[in-house]
Amino acid sequence: MFESLGHVLVKHRKSAVILFVVGILVAGGFGSLIFNRLDSGGYSNPTSDSYKVYEYLRDVLKVQDPSVAVVLDAGDRSVDDPTVASGALALEKKMSQEEGVTKTLSYWSSGGEKTLKSADGKAAYILIFGNGEAFSPENQKLGEIFQTKYDGKVAGFTLYAGGVGVVGNAINEKIADDLKLAEGISIPLTFVLLAFVFGALAASAMPLIVGVAAILGAFFILFLISLFTDVSVYALNLTTGMGLGLGIDYALLMVNRFREEIHHGKSVEDSVVTTMATAGKTVFYSGMTVLVTMVSLTFFPLPFLKSFGYAGVSVVALAVIGAIFGLPPILALMGKRVDKGVVRRSAITPKEDGRWAHTARFVMKRPVPVVLLTLIALSVMAAPIGNIKFSQGDSRMLPANNPAAIATEVQAERFPGQTGNPIEIIVFDGADKTAEIAQYAAKVAAVPGIVAVVPPQVINKDVRLVAYQSMLPRTPESQQLIHDVRAIKAPSGTLIGGVAADYTDSQDGIAKTLPWALGWIALSVLILVFIFTGSIILPIKAVLLNVLSLAATMGVLTWVFIDGHLQWLVGSFTLTGSIDTSIVILIVVVVFGLSMDYELFLLSRIREEHLQGRSNIESVATGLQRSARIITAAAVLLAVVFAAFVTSGVTSIKTMGFGVALAVILDATVIRALLVPALMRLFGERNWWAPKSLQRFTLKH
């Protein structure tokens, strides 16, 4: 199939290139529309009890959470001072006239609602409501208006603008700015490194062509998806990082093999066909392993993680399409001119026997010590994982000096409870259970962490209870609080909602889905690698090595982002004592997929050498020599792309960039250069064993 496709693409190379370029331009034009359709939410589990409460409050009671929560600080005056009250009411009236505001509520306009007043009595809330849902573009627009106009010194007061609209807008703006900076660093640096790796300017442009095509194509697909469901703004970072990274990976493999065949004296057409039959086939199966891994993100109930799944699947598929359908006709047109613009002549014709082959032979002479020492080193790196704790993103992921983060900190420090984030308890058909509900409310009020419970409100046949907690809602402590509240025997028909419950249901939903997602990844990867290699042992070894690599990565992430080390390297961030659960899952899935990418690159070449009659040791040595340079170069370049995200001021993006960059480098060096050859030496010819009954399901190379 791949040989036939190679002949067709060479024959119609001009038409194929024109179609490829037109496709990129069209995808880029429509794909740019995605930027106005993104949201910064998606953390809710739509199948949970808390979401049912949210829908009840929204649809039946018409209750909204405020889009913006403005803290008015009166300085050394009491908020009950008549001059403060009159000034605050005038300011509230002005706020109510802003575009997008549907209503306002404050300590003063509510008649002195005590939950809207600070503990010291010198500050109070003005709550702003809009039409949009929590993290919708409408809410974020409102947040932008209030952060611009009503944060700082205004009308003799100090105002702090916070709330979901402000925080969402601040995160979106920060990510957009950081993305420009990351791309401004990574793309030029990547091109310089590509020129060094390929040794020629013409060849070094190929990965960028594939990468840009994958990114723009993925943006177009995400735009189409956004017409039917929510897509998270964070998906852009993954799309950019993986698009460039996989473009580099696949183009490196394809172009390197094409040049290798050209230098062996083959014609351009034969070189393209051989490249398709070898590297093209590897790219396809490597892409499949990454793609099925990314599919696992769509299993999770959170739209946030589903967005990453949509982005990952899209960009992987388009990187493969770009490498298999777009790159070969370009190579056919360039022919030997692929070596034009020499930068480093030694890179144009790689050595048949060099340092990587010597490394492999050195390792295979002493495999047991190498395995033991490597496992000890990885265990040391993984050790801090015992301290890992998980949470969900909130305003603390912003730089500490960001006005939205400051406003949230003021709210937490000066107000007795999370007034803007109450725990909502609905007792359906509870109107005739007055005594039972009163007892239940008293038990809820006694739970550590609950600061107040508002008297029950009867709505038709239902009863609504509102409670306020002391801690931020998206934290492990808040999750435990909700579990404690739910452990209390409640009247029949009771559902618990609110931001803290929403967070808890999201975390619990992730925990329930995770085993299924991991099972899918392991099973699908085992099957694909078996089909590709014809081996029972190699797929199992690959999965276990990836687990080791990921454990070491998680340990270092804990040491850095929970224990607070290496801020001189990754930049300052707010220590919260936890890591965003969704980002950890994303890192695990992305790194697992990319690791399998490199595994197949290496195994493909080793198997090719083995099928040509070389011994196990020589197959590994030669295969490593001919592929490790590509794998290491691809890993370094991919690490550069993701490491650029470390410059981000948003902690979750910084964590993702550092985690993926570290894992990729670790995998391409320690795992592929040391553990893989050592273990393949220990297993010997058993590496390629499979039962005869299963051999008919394997790929013929």
Q: Is 210 in the same domain as 337?
A: yes
Confidence of residue 137 (pLDDT cuts 50, 70, 90): low
Q: Is 163 in the same domain as 214?
A: no
In the chain, % helix, strand, coil (3-state, to 5) comes to 70, 10, 20
Q: Which residues have a Cβ under 8 Å from the Cβ of 344 and sit 6 or more positions away?
A: 195, 196, 199
Q: Which of 144-158, 394-408, 548-562, 624-638 ranks highest by mean pLDDT?
A: 548-562
Distance from C-alpha of 398 to C-alpha of 415, rounded to nearest angstrom: 21
Asked, for residue 550, whether it belongs to a domain, the answer is no
Distance from C-alpha of 301 to C-alpha of 47, rounded to nearest angstrom: 8
- CATH number for the domain spanning 432: value is 3.30.70
Work out the angle between the directed axes of helices 651-666 and 616-643 (0-180°, nearest 10).
160
Q: Is 156 in the same domain as 210?
A: no
Q: Does residue 575 have a pLDDT over 90?
A: no
For residue 419, give both structure tokens.
């007034």
For residue 71, give both structure tokens.
């803290």
Q: Which residues have a Cβ under 8 Å from the Cβ of 376 and sit 6 or more positions away?
A: none
Nearest to 44, CA basis, from 234, 229, 232, 302: 302
Confidence of residue 701 (pLDDT cuts 50, 70, 90): low
Q: Is 108 in the same domain as 212?
A: no
Number of domains observed in the structure of the chain? 3
Q: Does residue 431 have a pLDDT over 60?
A: yes
pLDDT of the residue at 400: 77
- CATH number for the domain spanning 233: value is 1.20.1640.10
Buried b (16+ CB within 10 A) or exposed e, 3-27: eebbeebbeebeebbeebeebbeeb
Asked, for residue 423, whether it belongs to a domain, the answer is yes
Q: Does residue 162 have a pLDDT over 80?
A: yes
Last residue of a domain, one of 305, 335, 350: 350
Distance from C-alpha of 242 to C-alpha of 264, rounded to nearest angstrom: 33
Each residue's pLDDT tens digit, 279-330: 888 888 888 888 999 899 999 888 888 888 898 899 999 999 988 898 888 8
* Bridge partners (DSSP) listed for residue 465: 425
Asked, for residue 184, whether it belongs to a domain, the answer is no
C-alpha separations of 446 from 189, 417, 440, 457, 488 in Å: 58, 15, 10, 20, 11
Confidence of residue 347 (pLDDT cuts 50, 70, 90): low
For residue 73, give both structure tokens.
């600080």
Q: Is 226 in the same domain as 336?
A: yes
C-alpha separations of 355 from 193, 350, 351, 604, 668 in Å: 20, 11, 9, 20, 15
Distance from C-alpha of 48 to C-alpha of 509, rounded to nearest angstrom: 8
pLDDT of the residue at 12: 82
Write a three-state SS string for 442-474: HHHHCCCCEEEEEEEEEECCEEEEEEEECCCCC
Query: Strand 68-73 vs strand 123-130: parallel, antiparallel, or unpaired?
Result: antiparallel
Q: What is the DSSP letter of 79?
A: T
Distance from C-alpha of 560 to C-alpha of 614, rounded to nearest angstrom: 45
Work out the angle between the directed axes of helices 581-611 and 537-561 (0-180°, nearest 10).
150
For residue 222, give both structure tokens.
């995400």
User: Chain-centre distance of CA 129, in angstroms?
Assistant: 31
Last residue of a domain, one of 311, 328, 350: 350
Distance from C-alpha of 611 to C-alpha of 277, rounded to nearest angstrom: 15
Q: Is 221 in the same domain as 341?
A: yes
Nearest to 193, CA basis, from 621, 669, 637, 694: 637
Q: What mean pLDDT is predicted for residues 454-464?
A: 86
Tell me the residue range of the domain where 427 lies.
Answer: 403-505
pLDDT of the residue at 350: 54
Q: Is 325 in the same domain as 204?
A: yes
Q: Is 45 helix (H, G, I), strand (E, B) or coil?
A: coil
Distance from C-alpha of 344 to C-alpha of 353, rounded to nearest angstrom: 19
Each residue's pLDDT tens digit, 166-225: 887 887 778 777 777 777 777 788 777 777 777 677 777 788 888 888 888 888 888 888
Of 18-22, 643-647, 689-693, minimum mean pLDDT range: 689-693
Q: Is 267 left (phi over 0), alpha (psi -120 to 50) or beta?
A: beta
Q: Is 222 in the same domain as 331?
A: yes
Asked, for residue 234, whether it belongs to a domain, the answer is yes
Neighbours of 452 (CB within 10 A): 16
* Bridge partners (DSSP) listed for residue 117: 124
User: Chain-centre distance of CA 505, in angstroms?
Assistant: 20
Q: Is 285 in the same domain as 339?
A: yes
Q: Does residue 134 have a pLDDT over 70?
A: no
Query: Strand 231-232 vs strand 38-39: parallel, antiparallel, or unpaired?
Result: parallel
pLDDT of the residue at 351: 56
Neighbours of 688 (CB within 10 A): 20
* Bridge partners (DSSP) listed for residue 127: 69, 105
Q: What is the DSSP letter of 38?
A: E
Each residue's pLDDT tens digit, 475-521: 888 889 999 999 999 888 899 988 889 889 988 988 899 899 999 99
Q: Which residues have a Cβ under 8 Å from the Cβ of 356 and sit 6 or more positions away?
A: 624, 625, 628, 629, 673
Q: What mean pLDDT is predicted for residues 141-149?
A: 84
Q: Is 210 in the same domain as 344?
A: yes
C-alpha separations of 630 from 173, 330, 348, 636 in Å: 37, 20, 13, 10
For residue 387, give both structure tokens.
């301290």
Tokens 């992430």 map to which residue? 557
pLDDT of the residue at 40: 61
CB 152 within 8 A of CB 87: no
Nearest to 128, CA basis, from 83, 173, 55, 64: 64
Q: Is 134 in the same domain as 210?
A: no
Tokens 């420009």 map to which residue? 180
Asked, for residue 567, whether it belongs to a domain, the answer is no
For residue 676, give both structure tokens.
């893989």
Asked, for residue 522, whether it belongs to a domain, the answer is no
Last residue of a domain, one of 350, 376, 411: 350
Instruction: For residue 474, count CB atoms less than 10 angstroms from its CB and return exposed for 0-12, middle for 13-18, buried for 19 or more.
Output: buried
CA quadruple 657, 659, 660, 663: dihedral sign: positive
pLDDT of the residue at 74: 87
Half-sphere exposure of 350 (CA within 13 A, CB side): 25
Buried b (16+ CB within 10 A) or exposed e, 249-264: bbbbbbbbbbbbbbee
Instruction: For residue 524, count CB atoms less than 10 angstroms from its CB and return exposed for 0-12, middle for 13-18, buried for 19 or more.
Output: middle
Q: Does residue 393 have a pLDDT over 90?
A: no
* Bridge partners (DSSP) listed for residue 153: 158
CA quadruple 469, 470, 473, 479: dihedral sign: negative
Asked, for residue 79, whether it belongs to a domain, the answer is yes
Write a three-state SS string for 107-150: CCCCCCCHHHECCCCCEEEEEEEECCCCCCHHHHHHHHHHHHHC
Asked, for residue 254, whether it belongs to a domain, the answer is yes
Instruction: Supply the Cα-derived Rg of the chain in whole angstroms.
Output: 29
Backbone angles phi and psi of 85, in degrees to 5:
-60, -45
- CATH number for the domain spanning 97: value is 3.30.70.330
Q: Does residue 108 have a pLDDT over 70?
A: yes
Q: Is 203 in the same domain as 133?
A: no
Q: What mean pLDDT is predicted for residues 641-670?
A: 86
Percent of the chain at pLDDT exceeding 70? 94
pLDDT of the residue at 378: 93
Query: Strand 462-469 vs strand 494-498: parallel, antiparallel, or unpaired?
Result: unpaired
Instruction: List the beta strands (DSSP E) in 549-591.
Output: 579-580
